[in-house]
Structure 1
Amino acid sequence: MKKHNWSIVLLFLLFVSLSISCKKKQPVDADPPEGTESNLVSAEVTGSYNSNQLRLLALAAEYDAAVPFIKYDVSFIKINYKTTYKGNEIVASGMLVVPKNMPTAPSMISAQHGTTFLAAAAPSNVPQFAAFTGYELLSSAGFITAIPDFIGYGASKNVIHPYYDEYHSAIAVRDMLTAVTAYLKKEKTAFTERLFMIGYSEGGYVTIAAQKTIETSPIPGLSLKAVAAGAGGYDVTSIVSAIIDNGTYSDPAYVAFILNSYNITYGWNRPLTDFFREPYAGRIPVLLDGTNHASAISDQLIADPTALLNPVFYANMQNSNGELALKAAFATNSLLDFVPATATRLYHGTADETVFFQNSQLTFDKYKASGASKLELVPVPGGTHESTVLPMMLNALPWFQSLDK
């Protein structure tokens, strides 16, 4: 959501006050309960905030409509856990938000954030200003909320984020949920087995990727009840083709992000001049160093794909015999070979200029044709990529609450 200057100042002051007033506790011993194994590395309480502070935060972030759902005080716990990147064990991180003083044991939501170019925006960096995702408010509505940073952020910021990569997207979520359940059991924090999932933009893609692996191999102690995914670009092949074929694309930062990520994740290590014209190829490594917003990156690139991309690369992308390895990777990571069994809603703004609405429509049609009987497509009329986040949350939360029984 766009924030006015007063909102930015208010949020900054709020986070500063919280950072000063919230005393950190010592990290929790990560040894698993007797007779169990755990991938939990460490857990540290980084803040404990009351419902009034959260209401102020929601108002400052222009999440006014979410205020009525805010009921409970919450604790923020940074979770470090073991996961896998390119076949090697690494430590990743995320934020766990736990509601306080609930009358009954809460269920869990796994919430996946959207594309971020800023290292500071990793959810585990709360209470830093940039790290607020909005999903933290779900905990104050009565759900334990796990928000993974994703590989390439937080504790794993030393590696390049595997953007729109199915395996690494899914494993980061699954392994965090495994670590979270171990932590909650060790701390004797009551929770039900019911698991809900939500995500938007890249988080929508990550949510469906995680849903796919969890439905195939459930996480012990958790039962997936419902999934809400928004504007996820689930068909990677189609979204990339649509961007390249379009006369202009207002967010070229995303083109740079996915091509650079695939180049590194798959070990091709091609010079960026294979993909981009100069001067853009030379700018991209610095632009993607974790210190720039999406808009700042796009401002240093160009909206016309024919002017941004190397002409040979551009031609090969439109040639059925060109760039076969890249196209195969896009196809492999497209989430179309899947029939969701869990109740699932796909949300998308009809005026989305970043991830085009047709991508969700195509995915919905494919899933329905394959036999998905608990699937809904929820268009948000006139919704842009930015403006659709809150309507999705406000629709998904009551739906989750209705199924939380």
Structure 2
Amino acid sequence: MRHPTVRSCLPRACAPALMLALLTACGGGGGGSGQTSDGGVIVTPPPPTTLRGTLIGGAAPVPVAVNGASVTTLQPAAFTQLLEAAQKGSSTLTGTPTCAVTTFTLKYHTVGGAGEDTDAATAIMVPSGTDSACQGNRPVLLYAHGTSVLKRNDMSDLSAAEPRLVAAMYAAQGYIVVAPDYAGYAGSSLSYHSYLDASQQTSDMVDGLRAARKVFAVIGAHPSNKLLLTGYSQGGYVALATQRAMQTGYPGEFTVTAAAPMSGPYALTQFGDAIFGGKPSQGSAAFLPMLINAGQHANAGLYASTSDIYEAPYAAGIADLLPGTASLSELVAAGALPNDVLFAKDSLPQGDGYASFFGAGNLVKTSYRASYLADMNSHPCGANSADPLNCMPVHTLRKWLVKNDLRSYVPAVPVLLCGGAQDPVVPFQNASATADYFTAHGMTSSSLTLLDLESGIIVDSYGSTRLAFEAAKGLLRAASGDQAVRDSYHAGLVAPFCMRATRDFFQNK
């Protein structure tokens, strides 16, 4: 593929500043009803059922292969070996593991996009050991993962990059990690995934945590009263949406200590308008069908037929295509998706530097794009940072984006929004626009931190992380050129350094 960044939302190996083998990633909604006194949305959870959050079987330990041996508990030395085997020097970036980690998988009931009962699984990573950081009551970190086009994606599999990085950054440093796989993945019977559908995705996260709590005592997890939310890319969006849901929809059940979403498309309306306005993001040809498919399953009525949106070579097989069993490169080779060419060559407008997203074999019909652009012109959104969603679109996709845009409430807990200003997958404007909204509604600098790894500031508490990020970027550019930096930026560069900043942020809460 021209843009390998759409294969996986985190690198298959994480690496430190001095030895970054920077790999590839992709980026990453549900609504609410009612309003708070300041105009924010009160999220109404799906109707309660007797099944949501109930267990399907028990928690099962997941073995890890290290040096030819299979173990269920990774001791710190073995974990260091696992990290170094994946990428030499990785433990320098994550920090040397302090705690042993045992990873479990647990199935539970949740709901699909239409509120139907379904099953999902969550990973639970439990720290243990003699160090004081590994003993006693430990904080619980609820983690939302990035986009994957493969249904087999499983957060309990530490042979994969994202689970291994999360385990090293958090569980091995004393956090109990609960990382739901999302319905539609890791053996779930749901035939689709509710991509960026805030209602379903937050329900899935809530139900995964409910299920995990029921087995904590059995698996040796001893939680403190701290509940921390984070996630990367799609997971950054899900983490912030989950904080909103817990605050406004489940206030008596969950008390969140702090949230640190990373590189997520929180300002979803702005994100969609930029794509259709002529500035597509890397991976749009995969993300857009996933988002549209999620809305269709949630009864948003985004199309009468897939041929309303997609060109003939793709329309017949695109519903429920992703996630699936094939990689994007395999789907492109089979002609099921284009090589990230979203619009026709003569389709206007086209942003400077975005010509590669326009050409032959495009995915989206020009007539559909024209209807979206007409709605943008008639119902512009985002003119006022304090009220960006007061635009009343009539186009069904824009209505879905507005419904799932997270600029609709104000967090009541400390929030860190981390990302990089040059991100070609999920533009940093998602974070800055969301921060502007929060600030306009009363969040102060003491409760809201907007961290741009590109800012160059080195005198604050994240200065060393910024310097290490710049060093890693410089090494990659020197070795492989500017395009390598662009292709690896979202996951290979920004992801591990934002995770490190997030850990620093949580340690002070």
Which TM-score band applies after superposition, normalised by the shorter structure? 0.7 to 0.9
RCO higher in structure (CA 8 A, sep ≥6): 2
**In the alignment, which residue of structure 2 is the partner of 1:272?**
306
**In the alignment, which residue of structure 1 is the partner of 2:356?**
none
**Contact 2:119–2:190, Cα closer than 8 Å, also in 1:** no
**In the alignment, which residue of structure 2 is the partner of 1:363?**
434
Q: CA separation of 1:294/1:363 partners in 2, compared to 1, >3 Å: closer, same or farther?
A: farther
**In the alignment, which residue of structure 2 is the partner of 1:391?**
497
Percent sequence identity is 24
Q: CA separation of 1:97/1:248 partners in 2, compared to 1, >3 Å: closer, same or farther?
A: closer
Q: CA separation of 1:295/1:96 partners in 2, compared to 1, >3 Å: closer, same or farther?
A: same
Question: Within the alignment, does 1:76 sit opposite 2:91 as a pair?
Answer: no
**1:280 Cα deviation from its structure 2 partner:** 3.0
Name the CA distance, whole Å, in 1 between partners of 2:338 and 2:259: 35
Partner of 2:190: helix, strand, or coil? coil
State which of 57, 60, 63 in structure 2 corresponds to 1:44. 60
Q: Which amino acid aligns with 2:128?
A: K
Partner of 2:399: helix, strand, or coil? helix
**Contact 1:174–1:219, Cα closer than 8 Å, also in 2:** no
**In the alignment, which residue of structure 2 is the partner of 1:34?**
none
Aligned residue runs from structure 1 range 166-245, under 5 A = 166-186=198-218, 189-218=221-250, 223-245=255-277
Q: Which consecutive residues of structure 2, in runs of 5 or more, have no partner in the other structure?
A: 1-9, 14-51, 63-71, 345-362, 379-392, 455-469, 474-488
**Contact 1:230–1:346, Cα closer than 8 Å, also in 2:** yes
**1:135 Cα deviation from its structure 2 partner:** 1.1
1:201-236 alpha-carbon deviations (Å, 9 max, x no partner): 000000001000112255767531111111110111
**In the alignment, which residue of structure 2 is the partner of 1:100?**
128
Which has the higher mean CA deviation after the structures are superposed, 155-164 or 237-246? 155-164
Q: CA separation of 1:112/1:145 partners in 2, compared to 1, >3 Å: closer, same or farther?
A: same
Name the CA distance, whole Å, in 1 between partners of 2:11 and 2:111: 35
Question: Within the alignment, does 1:380 sit opposite 2:412 as a pair?
Answer: no
Question: Within the alignment, does 1:261 sit opposite 2:294 as a pair?
Answer: yes
Aligned residue runs from structure 1 range 33-182, under 5 A = 39-42=54-57, 43-46=59-62, 47-62=72-87, 63-85=90-112, 86-101=114-129, 102-124=134-156, 126-127=157-158, 129=160, 132=163, 134-137=165-168, 138-182=170-214
**1:361 Cα deviation from its structure 2 partner:** 1.0
Name the CA distance, whole Å, in 2 between partners of 1:346 and 1:289: 27
**Contact 2:152–2:187, Cα closer than 8 Å, also in 1:** no
**In the alignment, which residue of structure 1 is the partner of 2:19?**
none
Which has the higher mean CA deviation after the structures are superposed, 300-309 or 284-293? 284-293
Name the CA distance, whole Å, in 2 between partners of 1:133 and 1:118: 17
Partner of 2:223: helix, strand, or coil? coil
**1:133 Cα deviation from its structure 2 partner:** 5.3
**1:44 Cα deviation from its structure 2 partner:** 1.4
Aligned residue runs from structure 1 range 273-312, under 5 A = 273-282=307-316, 284-285=318-319, 288-294=322-328, 296-297=330-331, 300-307=337-344, 308-312=363-367
Q: CA separation of 1:95/1:314 partners in 2, compared to 1, >3 Å: closer, same or farther?
A: same
Q: Give the 4+ runs in structure 1 shifted more than 6 A.
A: none
1:159-197 alpha-carbon deviations (Å, 9 max, x no partner): 210111110111111111111112114556422111111
Name the CA distance, whole Å, in 2 between partners of 1:158 and 1:237: 27
Question: Within the alignment, does 1:339 sit opposite 2:410 as a pair?
Answer: yes
**1:270 Cα deviation from its structure 2 partner:** 3.3
**Contact 2:139–2:175, Cα closer than 8 Å, also in 1:** yes
Name the CA distance, whole Å, in 1 between partners of 2:258 and 2:96: 19
**Contact 1:247–1:304, Cα closer than 8 Å, also in 2:** no
**In the alignment, which residue of structure 1 is the partner of 2:372?**
317
Q: Which amino acid aligns with 2:289?
A: A
**Contact 1:287–1:297, Cα closer than 8 Å, also in 2:** no
Partner of 1:339: helix, strand, or coil? coil
**Contact 1:237–1:334, Cα closer than 8 Å, also in 2:** yes
Q: Which amino acid aligns with 2:238?
A: V
**1:127 Cα deviation from its structure 2 partner:** 4.8
Partner of 2:261: helix, strand, or coil? strand
Partner of 1:342: helix, strand, or coil? coil
**Contact 1:79–1:93, Cα closer than 8 Å, also in 2:** yes
**Contact 1:228–1:345, Cα closer than 8 Å, also in 2:** yes
Q: CA separation of 1:260/1:217 partners in 2, compared to 1, >3 Å: closer, same or farther?
A: closer
Partner of 2:410: helix, strand, or coil? coil
**1:267 Cα deviation from its structure 2 partner:** 6.0
Q: Which amino acid aligns with 2:193?
A: H
Name the CA distance, whole Å, in 1 between partners of 2:198 and 2:340: 27
1:74-119 alpha-carbon deviations (Å, 9 max, x no partner): 1111111121222222221110000113332211101111011111
**1:338 Cα deviation from its structure 2 partner:** 0.9
* Structure with the bigger percentage of helix: 1
Name the CA distance, whole Å, in 1 between partners of 2:342 and 2:395: 19
Q: Which consecutive residues of structure 1, in runs of 5 or more, have no partner in the other structure?
A: 5-36
Q: Which amino acid aligns with 1:53?
A: A
Q: CA separation of 1:236/1:44 partners in 2, compared to 1, >3 Å: closer, same or farther?
A: same
Partner of 2:216: helix, strand, or coil? helix
**In the alignment, which residue of structure 1 is the partner of 2:421?**
350
Partner of 2:95: helix, strand, or coil? helix
Q: Give the superposed CA RMSD.
A: 2.6
1:226-249 alpha-carbon deviations (Å, 9 max, x no partner): 111111101111111111222554
TM-score after normalising by structure 1: 0.83
Name the CA distance, whole Å, in 2 between partners of 1:353 and 1:210: 25
Q: CA separation of 1:163/1:248 partners in 2, compared to 1, >3 Å: closer, same or farther?
A: closer
Name the CA distance, whole Å, in 1 between partners of 2:200 and 2:128: 32
TM-score after normalising by structure 2: 0.67
Name the CA distance, whole Å, in 2 between partners of 1:281 and 1:359: 30
Q: Which amino acid aligns with 2:311?
A: R
Q: Which amino acid aligns with 1:292?
A: A
**1:297 Cα deviation from its structure 2 partner:** 4.8
**Contact 1:113–1:133, Cα closer than 8 Å, also in 2:** no
**In the alignment, which residue of structure 2 is the partner of 1:9?**
none
**1:158 Cα deviation from its structure 2 partner:** 2.9
